[in-house]
């Protein structure tokens, strides 16, 4: 095995042009491209705006909606679970269970949304948290 410290020292002495040439040769030899990871890194947070502005603008989401996609085969169980979570009447809960894209809960914490999702999925529903 090559002496890695010696290799690192030799690579550190390369000029930018030599390093670019080395990348091209390695890409040809190994059949890979280093362009994709570089492009992804350039699109990351703060790219093109001087750094911290994007990081400050992006806040962690604190409110979530629990959306029913499909009541599944056990619709009665799903309706009961909706009633427990929302205090809706039987008709309203039934209508909500039969409405794909209907919001069971709105603007709840992540924990409450995940709890509701777990209960509704246990009852047979297909749920999305947005």
Domain range annotation of the chain: 4-57, 64-129
* pLDDT for 34: 60
Q: Which residues pair with 127 in a beta bridge?
A: 68
pTM score, two decimals?
0.52
123 with 81: CB under 8 angstroms? yes
Torsions phi, psi for 106 (to 5 deg): -125, 140
* pLDDT for 46: 52
Dihedral sign, Cα of residue 50, residue 56, residue 61, residue 63: negative
Residue 20 confidence (pLDDT) above 80: no
Check whether domain 64-129 has CATH 3.40.50.720, yes or no? no
124 with 69: CB under 8 angstroms? no
What's the mean per-residue pLDDT of the chain? 78
pLDDT mean over 85-106: 87
Residue 36 confidence (pLDDT) above 50: no
Residue 56 confidence (pLDDT) above 60: no
Q: Which carries the bigger pLDDT value, residue 125 or residue 40? A: 125
* pLDDT for 108: 86
Residue 55 and residue 64: Cα distance in Å, rounded? 21
Q: What are 86's two structure tokens?
A: 């929302």
């Amino acid at each position: 095995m090559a002496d890695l410290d010696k290799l690192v020292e030799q690579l550190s002495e390369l000029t930018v042009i030599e390093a670019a040439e080395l990348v091209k040769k390695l890409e040809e030899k190994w059949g890979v491209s280093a362009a994709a990871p570089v492009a992804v890194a350039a699109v990351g947070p703060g790219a093109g705006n001087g750094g911290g502005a994007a990081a400050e603008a992006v806040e962690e989401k604190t409110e979530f909606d629990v959306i029913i996609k499909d009541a599944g085969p056990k619709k009665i169980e799903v309706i009961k679970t909706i009633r427990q979570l929302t205090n809706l009447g039987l008709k309203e809960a039934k209508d909500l269970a039969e409405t794909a894209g209907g919001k069971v809960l709105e603007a709840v914490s992540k924990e409450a949304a995940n709890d509701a999702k777990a209960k509704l999925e246990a009852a047979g529903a297909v749920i999305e948290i947005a």
